[in-house]
Structure 1
Amino acid sequence: MIDREHKLPIRRQAEVLSISRGVAYYKPRPVSEQDLLLMQKLDELHLNYPFAGSRILRGLLHQQGVDAGRLHIGTLMKKMGIEAIYRKRNTSKPAPGHRIYPYLLRSLMVTRPNQAWAMDISYIPMARGFVYLAAVVDWFSRKILSWRLSITMDV
């Protein structure tokens, strides 16, 4: 976007493009050898411990005799595009634009079996992905009427 050989000054080119001049003059620094070795060790540890974040990885590196700060490890993890695998918050938020249906059973008193059922789909984290569990439960007796396990969300 910025042409350094153009007769228009870089300052003016940055104004026309509505970008900061700092972006126009920035030259990325190469990654140091020390960081490359640390990133290689982080990659190996992440494959063995995908649930580990920067704090646990720092401890594991310390056991191997490598001293590095937690924030530096977090920065390198971001640069590498890796993160700890764990359940995130707010997994039940509806997508933007999806309709929210009214709750029709709010005032219903469940007084006998087979009057109301509930359906739930949950995922169970495993070593290599997830297993999905679908279950139908009777509200009154709280018994599981049916359940299925699957490795995909397909029918």
Structure 2
Amino acid sequence: MERDNNEITIKRQADLLNVNRTSVYRPSQEKSESEENVQIMHQIDEIYMKHPYFGYRRMTRFLRDRGFEVNRKRVRRLMQHMGLEAIYPKPNLSKRFHAKYVRPYLLRGLTINRPNQVWGIDITYLRMGKGFMYLFNIIDWYSRKVIDYELSSTLEKGFVLRCLKRAFSRCKPEIMNSDQGSHFTNAEYLELLEKEGVKVSMDGKGRATDNSRTERYFRSLKYECIFLNEYEDPRALRKGIVRYVQFYNQERPHQSLK
């Protein structure tokens, strides 16, 4: 990219290259990972999909068994960079920095029997041949339809809010369910949902089953699309996801829906 190009703006260059414009303006804040670390992150992603209860200690042991010379400190940093956290009950919620933004889980015992009653949202790491991106996804819990999604090269919260606003311009759920990640335990997210008249529900800390429908979609996406194709760049990844979402929404059989 050329910052001083007089003919093509930074925004247009970012659109042509399919990269997030905000990450272009702040390159110093994004620490690039070495090729070795990216390969380790790919391995972590595969292991985590099978064993989401693995913390950095057991993850380190698995990686060593696969031939990677890593220590716990390195694995913990990479898992944090990927936005991964072991799923198990964690105490002292009241001491967490974002505790004032946490909301109760509203779906326990609720019968979900119509579209746009409950939407589930989450973020996952997507690997490419020589890099990675993050996917924010909105899925309707009744119809299993992917409502919208957004890809980003960083974990900044802007791409989450942008996707939500786009989805709300078409329709809105009664309840929005998420985990207690930093993207959803912040004032901007809660203010947006309050403005749109959407109730906020959040998973219990460490409870994988609370957002199970969204997690199952991520698992299907990775095993049926991402892991099989090893997309080389963001453009190829975007095209692959477009194809998969169309297949998932229109053709793929869903046993729960008969």
- Give the structure-1-normalised TM-score: 0.43
Which is richer in strand? 1
Higher relative contact order, structure no. (Cα contacts within 8 Å, ≥ 6 residues apart):
2
